[in-house]
């Protein structure tokens, strides 16, 4: 990917205000987990969408003032380049949606944190992965997820990282267009259909990420300071979509697949809908609520 560092106006840097709030000595019922146990909980959390690391901190909400608030950020040059990358991608994705939605689009930001953070949606830890909070309309990301994406899930590359951000902004688009509130009401009315509805929501966000990818694939964009895809980038993005499918994550964490517990869709579904957005560049092609999701 070709991209140019900006002014960081598309991020909120909360890395110096976050911390695990008791993780180091925690345990469930007096049991202390080693690294292997922590890794297992991380994988299960990603696979199911449930924050099992809350077992290590006693569960429940954690008050904002109990989270580390040093305000100091010890960072490497490589990490700071990742910060610039997030800012550049967020800017480009949002400019694309502003063109598509016109005055309906409202700016958001990516909140960067380490280990844990108190959001308007509650206390969150890195184990939950990147997420969008509808209450404060912010994207949340621990940059450490990118290392997991590359090293544990085998999905390296800039466009793989950009896909993750574009997916979360896709949830922001759902919030702005009323899709989020409509599907939330549907889940409240029929809790048994909650997971199935969640899958459709997530697959649409994948497709929306592809819509931005279609725009970024147009040649000559870098001359105007925009993000521009290079050869091999699309394959990186598709590999990332496949790497974090529910079936693959469940197999990694539990050894078996339970489709009724899917919350984001299978690897094949995620690839299919991401590809659909990439191919068409049309948000109207992203209606996962009509018919089968494949």
Q: Which tens digit of pLDDT belongs to each residue from 178-216?
A: 999 999 999 999 999 999 999 999 999 999 999 999 999
pLDDT reported for residue 51: 54
pLDDT reported for residue 135: 96
- Residue 3 placed within a domain: no
- Residue 166 placed within a domain: yes
How many CA atoms, within 13 angstroms, populate the side-chain half-sphere of residue 70? Answer: 11
Tell me the pLDDT band of 63, cut-offs 50, 70 and 90.
Answer: very low
Tell me the pLDDT band of 65, cut-offs 50, 70 and 90.
Answer: very low
pLDDT reported for residue 60: 41
What is the rounded distance in angstroms from the CA atom of residue 51 to the CA atom of residue 42?
8
pLDDT at 67 over 70: no
- Residue 239 placed within a domain: yes
What is the rounded distance in angstroms from the CA atom of residue 203 to the CA atom of residue 209?
10
Spatial CB neighbours of 120, under 8 Å, sequence gap ≥ 6: 133, 135, 136, 138
> Which CA distances in Å does 17 have to 66, 115, 145, 207?
10, 10, 18, 33
119, 140 Cβ separation under 8 angstroms:
yes
- Residue 121 placed within a domain: yes
pLDDT reported for residue 270: 95
Q: Which residue has the tokens 């009323």?
A: 178
pLDDT reported for residue 41: 52
Coil, helix or strand for 113? strand
Q: Which residue has the tokens 């191919």?
A: 279
State residue 117 phi and psi, 5-degree precision.
-160, 155
- Residue 202 placed within a domain: yes
pLDDT reported for residue 25: 31
pTM, rounded to two decimals: 0.81
What is the rounded distance in angstroms from the CA atom of residue 14 to the CA atom of residue 140?
10
pLDDT at 147 over 80: yes
Alpha-carbon radius of gyration of the chain: 18
- Residue 293 placed within a domain: no
What is the rounded distance in angstroms from the CA atom of residue 86 to the CA atom of residue 101?
22
Pick the more confident residue, 292 or 125: 125
Domain count, the chain: 1
* pLDDT (average), residues 93-115: 97
Pick the more confident residue, 49 or 126: 126
What is the rounded distance in angstroms from the CA atom of residue 270 to the CA atom of residue 290?
16
* pLDDT (average), residues 50-78: 52
- Residue 28 placed within a domain: yes
- Segment (H or E) for 293: none
Tell me the pLDDT band of 98, cut-offs 50, 70 and 90.
Answer: very high
Residue 198: CB atoms within 10 Å: 17
Spatial CB neighbours of 74, under 8 Å, sequence gap ≥ 6: none
**Which residues pair with residue 125 across a beta bridge?**
116
Tell me the pLDDT band of 72, cut-offs 50, 70 and 90.
Answer: low
228, 1 Cβ separation under 8 angstroms:
yes
Pick the more confident residue, 81 or 58: 81
pLDDT reported for residue 42: 56
Q: Which domain holds residue 33?
A: 11-286
- Residue 292 placed within a domain: no
Tell me the pLDDT band of 157, cut-offs 50, 70 and 90.
Answer: very high
124, 116 Cβ separation under 8 angstroms:
yes
Identify which of 192, 210, 181 has the alpha carbon closest to the alpha carbon of residue 285. 210
Pick the more confident residue, 63 or 288: 288
């Amino acid at each position: 990917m070709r991209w140019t560092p900006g002014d960081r106006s598309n991020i909120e840097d909360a890395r110096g205000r976050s911390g695990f709030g008791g993780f180091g000595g925690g345990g469930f019922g007096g049991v202390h987990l080693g690294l292997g146990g922590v890794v297992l909980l991380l994988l299960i959390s990603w696979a199911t969408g449930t924050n099992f690391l809350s077992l290590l901190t006693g569960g429940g909400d954690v008050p904002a003032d109990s989270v580390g608030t040093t305000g100091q950020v010890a960072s490497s040059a490589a990490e700071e380049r990742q910060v610039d990358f997030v800012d550049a991608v967020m800017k480009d994705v949002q400019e694309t949606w502003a063109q598509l939605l016109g005055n309906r689009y409202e700016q958001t930001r990516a909140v960067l944190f380490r280990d844990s953070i108190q959001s308007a949606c509650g206390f969150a830890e890195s184990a939950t992965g990147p997420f969008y909070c509808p209450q404060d309309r912010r994207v949340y990301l621990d940059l450490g997820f990118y290392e997991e994406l590359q090293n544990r899930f085998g999905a390296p590359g800039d466009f793989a990282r950009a896909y993750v951000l574009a997916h979360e902004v896709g949830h922001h688009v759902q919030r702005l267009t009323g899709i989020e509130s409509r599907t939330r009401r549907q889940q409240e009315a029929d809790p048994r259909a909650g997971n199935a509805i969640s899958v459709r929501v997530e697959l649409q966000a994948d497709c929306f990420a592809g819509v931005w990818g279609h725009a970024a694939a147009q040649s000559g964009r870098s001359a105007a300071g925009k993000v521009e895809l290079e050869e091999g980038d699309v394959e990186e993005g598709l590999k990332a979509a496949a790497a974090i499918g529910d079936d693959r994550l469940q197999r990694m964490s539990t050894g078996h697949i339970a489709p009724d517990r899917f919350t984001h869709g299978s690897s094949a579904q995620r690839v299919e809908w991401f590809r659909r957005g990439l191919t068409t560049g049309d948000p109207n092609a992203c209606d996962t609520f009509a018919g089968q999701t494949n």
